[in-house]
Structure 1
Amino acid sequence: MSKFTLALVAGASAAVGAASTAALLGMGSSKKNIPSQTVTTTTTVGTSPTGTAPPLPVPIRRLDDPKAPFVPPVDPAGLFQYGFPGPVNDVRNAASLTSSYDRRTKNPHWVAEHITPASLLMRNGDRRHSAFEEDQAIPEKFRAKLKDYFRSGYDRGHQVPAADAKWSQEAMNDTFALSNMCPQVGEGFNRDYWAHFEDFCRRLTSYYPSVRIVTGPLYLPKRDPVDNKWRVSYEVIGHPPNIAVPTHFYKIIYAEDGKTGGNVSLGAFVLPNDKISNDKPLADFEVPIEAVERASGLDFVSLLPPARRKRLCQEVSCSVIVKEYDQRQKQMTTPPPAKGLPSPSQR
């Protein structure tokens, strides 16, 4: 996909239909009462209900008599007495990441991380001591579950990789919550090209003292070969089907020069959630940040003055280094050392 095509696609809109069947929604003939759960959230629009009666409608002026107030006969905001519909951002602030969760797709909107030369040199975390887990801070009915990925054919793809959080075991454990995961094609992508791309991000700390990265899913339209119209189509996995499989993934890279008010080298990349040949140049996936913003509905650099912006791929060579996944996989599946004994790297 060319950069022009991606920009066009990112700006396109598409209507997505849904088959409202009881089987698809996981609704049986019997209903169970599910206890309500409390979770700290941040609303994106409106104001959350306070438990008090809704305010009276705001008086407006009558056109025939500007001096006489007129009270509308309806109060749409009265809905808030029953609860705030949303949308709601389940914002998570963990040791190694900050994220916003999308309850509709059961994937994150975005996940942000920060890596430095010092953080990558520390080796206090071991992924063999970590385990995938559901995010208990998200209400049960909106939560991605371990069973949803079981035999789905997709990897539980880290958005913030565990390898970026070796500086502490807690930090590494944070990356294994399913709120940091999206369904990703395994062989040829998550275990290969995507992993090489993550390694590229880490290697940037050889040139920059501070690197910030935002990663997330995209659901891009494609042209229907039959009627030539653009449509959004993606698979849904789970039991019942409820986790969207992204069509693409993005990374926004902020490589900071470390100076107060200094320059930031920016890079935006969009990769398809599919097998990618290891000889594919990374630069082929570079896109304008504005294209990712239009496609995701997110804003990444609104507070960064243009004078401080530089293009990352003009500052460094944007290329991946292919590493053998089999060797990494062998290291990851090796049993952890017994407690009290040093790991092989520490001996």
Structure 2
Amino acid sequence: MAWAGCMVESPEYISNGDVTFHFTSSSHTTSATCNVGTTQTYAQVSNVELEYDTAYTVYASCTATNGTAVTSASTTLTTPKVMPTESWLELPAEDTNGLYPNAVELKVNASGVRNYTAYYDNSTYTSMWVAYPLSSSHMGSLSRPSKWYYNPLIDESEQVNLCDHSYEGDTYSRGHLIPNASRNGNEEMQKQTFYVTNSVPQVQNSFNSGVWSNLEDALQSEAKSGETIYIVTGVAFSKVGETKSVSYIQAADDTKDVPIPNYFYKVALKVKTNSSGTVTSASTVGFWFENKAYSDAYTNYAVTVDQVEQWTGFDFFGNLPDTVEVTAESSNDWNAFLAF
């Protein structure tokens, strides 16, 4: 993450008050826009996602009310060598109370930019959750890839061969945890959503293709029109303290027995920050589903993040300030989340 700022002269002559900061490296270009009032003398953007260990040229631009393009002098910055994961608001806390002793965090990055993090349990060949930021810059109109790939971060023997075919039968599909459409604005990031570690057996008809897809669409639409949303999508074989039978399935091209999740969930976070980038308030909402067909709306399955934490044993959004987290995670109001 990075921030940039500049002095503003005659802000009343800036068209719509919009000032855009441009960050350009040898391989990566991004921008961020802020709005200044007619009496402000300083413009600033924060939480801009950049590649780590990379030199950038930075400048600001705006359009004057008479239509003239105005550009500031440029400066340079170099991002840190180590990705500061404590600023990744989507990540659950690392302590899982020993629930998944074989699980590891796989940080999937595209050309140095964070894509998503998967909490992969190689004893069940399952990512128990995938956490990722979602903003308009992640989405576009790239065509859907035709095949899946092994995740290069772990040995192929610890993965299920879903590269060319799905699971046996026609009930379960290769259910994405981070959706293809949440990364179809960047070819490398999109391909990484087709790592087999991002797939779990999910009822296709009237779940993956219905209420679940509708929820994904709603989150994508909200991210396109507003600020970044931080999302964790996960599965559970049983709730904490619950005894529940688990069925198994094999991939068409593999003999490994893959457990079928009994539950799917999503938790989502939006934040507001002050001028220094510190989170001052937040809104969250959760959704919890059984792995089955549905005929009603996803809004009927809204729950609090607190509730999902009780059922899964995970502590979501662990990088939020504690006082903000306690208040935010007690709401299951989808409309309030949208309005935040």
TM-score band, normalised by shorter chain: 0.5 to 0.7
1:283 to partner: Cα distance: 3.1
1:287 aligns with 2:287: no
Q: What's the TM-score once normalised by structure 1's chain length?
A: 0.58
8 Å CA contact retained: 2:105, 2:120: yes
155 and 213 in structure 1: CA distance in 2 versus 1, 3 angstrom threshold = same
Contact 1:256 1:264 in 2 (8 A): yes
Aligned mate of 1:233, from 234, 245, 251: 245
Runs of 5+ in structure 1 lacking a partner?
A: 1-43, 46-85, 223-228, 319-347
Q: In the aligned structure 2, how far is the partner of 1:157 from the partner of 1:263?
A: 33
1:109 aligns with one of 123, 128, 151: 128
Query: What letter corresponds to residue 315 of structure 1 in structure 2?
Result: A
Percent identical among aligned pairs is: 24
Q: 1:242 to 1:138 in 2, by over 3 A?
A: farther
Distance 2:135 2:281 in 1: 16
Question: CA shift at 1:284, angstroms?
Answer: 2.4
Secondary structure of residue in 2 paired with 1:191: helix
Correspondence for 1:306: 323
Matched position secondary structure for 2:194: coil
Match of 1:192 in 2: 210
State the TM-score, normalizing by the size of structure 2. 0.59
- Kindly provide the amino acid, as one letter, of the partner of residue 336 in structure 2: E
Contact 2:136-2:225 within 8 A present in 1 as well: no
- Give the match's secondary structure for 2:280: coil
Q: Report how far residue 88 of structure 1 moved.
A: 4.3
Q: What's the C-alpha RMSD, in Å, of the aligned pairs?
A: 2.9
Q: Larger relative CO (CA 8 A, sep 6+): 1 or 2?
A: 1
Alpha-carbon deviation of 1:176?
Answer: 0.4
Match in the other structure for 2:201:
183
**Cα offsets for 1:98-143 (capped at 9, x unmatched):** 21211122110211121113333x44x321x452122243234321
1:201 & 1:114 partners in 2: Cα distance? 11
After TM superposition, which residue ranges in structure 1, 4 or more long, deviate above 4 angstroms? none
Query: What is the SS of the residue equivalent to 2:317?
Result: coil
Tell whether 2:148 aligns with 1:132: yes
**1 or 2, which has the higher helix percentage?**
1
Residues 190 and 200 (structure 1 numbering): CA distance in 2 closer, same or farther, change over 3 Å? same
Q: CA deviation at 1:90?
A: 4.7
Matches within 5 A, 1:1-347: 87-95=102-110, 96-120=115-139, 122-123=140-141, 125-127=142-144, 129-146=145-162, 149-151=167-169, 153-205=171-223, 208-220=226-238, 231-238=243-250, 239-257=254-272, 259=274, 260=277, 261-277=279-295, 280-304=296-320, 305-307=322-324, 309-310=327-328, 311=331, 313-316=334-337
Question: Is the Cα contact below 8 Å between 2:214 and 2:298 reproduced in 1?
Answer: no
CA displacement, residues 39-66 of structure 1 (integer Å, 9 cap, x when unaligned): xxxxx89xxxxxxxxxxxxxxxxxxxxx
What is the aligned residue count?
Answer: 225
User: Helix, strand or coil: the match of 1:163?
Assistant: helix
- Measured against aligned partners, the alpha-carbon deviations of 1:242-278 in whole angstroms (never above 9, x if no partner) come to 211101101010122354323221011111111011x
Higher share of residues assigned strand: 2
Query: What secondary structure is seen at the aligned counterpart in 1 of 2:157?
Result: helix
